[in-house]
Amino acid sequence: MKPSVLVLNAGSSSIKFALYAVINATIEAVEVCRGKVTGIGTAPAFHAERGGGGGLPPHRHPDPSGIVDHASALSVIMTFLGDAFPDAEVVAVGHRVVHGGPHHFQPLLLTTENEAELDLCATLAPLHVPHNMAGIRAAQAAFPGVPQVACFDTAFHRQHPWVSDTFALPRSYFDEGVRRYGFHGLSYEYVSQRLREIAPDVAEGRVIVAHLGAGASMCGMRNGRSLSSSMGFTALDGLPMGTRCGQLDPGVLLYLLGEKAMSVEAVTDLVYNRSGLLGLSGISSDMRTLEQSDDPRARQAIDYFAYHIRREVGALAAEIGGVDALVFTGGIGENSPFLRRLVCAELGWLGLALDEAKNAANAVEIAAASSLPCFAIPTNEEIVIARHTARLAGFASDEAADAARSTTLAAPTG
């Protein structure tokens, strides 16, 4: 049998998964496979692909028709893995957990006691954490006795200066957890590590990373460490997103609740599900659809998105003391030459200019020769989770553990 780490990312109606082999007590650079179950409870579907491309081994196609919850979704995933990769033995399971609250700033080997603490974080991220926990409990039932590790999207940002993470509310609110957390930390951790491989001198400097996808945020780093994030108390703040509004005057919410007599549930649905690119365009939340549309509302939505990215570049540059490089990542950041060009066209004041051919080809290094460095780096949150999981479960070598520790954070001071 081949020891393997299974990585799970459980959402409200989906589970994404990836399988990594543990070889010579370290994590193989290329995953064995990855896939997802979508439409849990409604119209379930299953998809999987071989890590690094290529066809899957012979296997029976999974039947998703009986998937009604996370447990049955995981059962289908397990059946597929056992059929396609019969030599793989799952020795540890790693989970993406969106919110770790004010106390969790490192990956966590789960126990009964600290699991109860994570349940309390559901009040800070009610649309995410309950589903993350459902995935954890399904995995515990499926793999009894196998170590389970939680990796937090908020952890990478937990060493911010106090002034960066504090709202100007009475201090008692900060003490009970009402503060800025930042998200997409697993993505930023991967980009930080990858940039050290691509351009180590640049990675030690002042770097702004834009994680742009259905959820979008930006992070200002120095020497690979997060100093500021555009997202705050929730994953609503900062940039506009696919269906989320981004930064919003709190007076607007008071107006909607008071003058419009909207319920909390209706406002929640508005700002999470009917705003952002979808709300602005009235067409779609998908950047690919908007870029292909000749409707002027589509271009207005794209321009709004690009404007706020540029605005955040300026704010982060002030916070980290300048800019030595700009990095794009996430589904849009990695794959949209048009959006990158639109953003960078107004950043000449930074000394930034794109190489049009490299940008069009989605190359990793996309800056012109005389420009401030600029990169488009595909993110890989799953390998970050797998490395942390192998280390905490005791399967990583000293070399792998050192690599993981390179972005492990000190306890925050705030």
Instruction: Give the CA diameter of the chain.
Output: 64
Give dist(CA 103, CA 408) in Å, integer.
15
153 catalytic? Reply is yes
Give dist(CA 379, CA 381) in Å, integer.
6
Catalytic residue among 63, 69, 153, 303: 153
Give the residue among 33, 35, 67, 37 at the shortest CA–CA distance from 50.
33
Give dist(CA 409, CA 225) in Å, integer.
8
Rg of the chain over Cα atoms, rounded to whole angstroms, equals: 21
For residue 125, give Cα distances in angstroms to 66, 132, 153, 177, 365: 29, 10, 11, 12, 35
How many CA within 13 A on the CB side of residue 79?
15
Relative to beta strand 148-152, strand 206-212 is unpaired
Those residues whose C-beta lies under 8 Å from the C-beta of residue 398, and which sit 6 or more positions away, are: none
Locus of tokens 């699991």: 115
Helix axes 185-198, 381-392, angle to 10 degrees: 100
Relative to beta strand 225-229, strand 216-222 is antiparallel
H or E, element range at 219: strand 216-222
Residues tagged active-site: 153
